[in-house]
Amino acid sequence: MNILEILAVIMAGLATILATSMVVAFANRFMSRKVSEVKLIQKIKEEKKPMSKEAREGVTFNDIFMFMIAVPLVLLWVGFAGFVIHTGLNNSAVLENIEAYTTLIAILGGPALLIIKDALDVWKQEQAEKTAFYQVKAQAVIDYNDTVLKQAQEIETKAQEQEHKMENKK
């Protein structure tokens, strides 16, 4: 067995472990969702004071999932694909077994691509929220400037009317 075959076996094992841990994590999350919702409702009812910023922004399941499973999986997929390409260019034996390597890359790539797509969707959503915020902010500035301009015009109009009244009384 050469190093590429050993690496392929290790990658397949890690992919199996990652897939199993994802299934277990989602099952646990699904099963505990109702219990946590009831506990959260009870906790909110018991505590009348608002939560601090630190309490609201704690580490979530998604944070743990991203850093423990998603990030290593994507890095593993990209690294293995790069290693296969590099080794394939330098070693003709790799090209003879390329189907096995591409199958492993595809197995790792399925979940990795879904993770990347979800990350890009989150990024797009954040960008859309920023754009909407800046549109609202820009409209508020425009409205403010219009109001200030109208107010200045009204003040000038009132001042001119007052001057005309004073001239007419003389």
Threshold 0.85, pTM exceeds: no
- Whether residue 108 lies inside any domain: the answer is yes
Query: What is the Cα gyration radius of the chain?
Result: 31
Task: Render pLDDT for 74-100 as a digit per residue (tens, 0 to 9).
Answer: 888 888 888 888 888 788 888 888 888
Cβ-count burial of 66 within 10 angstroms (0-12 exposed, 13-18 middle, 19+ buried)?
Answer: middle
Q: How confident is the model at residue 54 (pLDDT cuts 50, 70, 90)?
A: very low
- Whether residue 43 lies inside any domain: the answer is yes
- Are 101 and 8 in contact by the 8 Å Cβ rule? The answer is yes
- Whether residue 149 lies inside any domain: the answer is no
- Whether residue 140 lies inside any domain: the answer is no
Q: Which of 13-17, 37-41, 117-121, 156-160 has the lowest mean pLDDT?
A: 37-41
Task: Render pLDDT for 130-151 as a digit per residue (tens, 0 to 9).
Answer: 899 999 999 999 999 999 999 9
**Residue span of the structural domain in which 45 resides:** 3-126
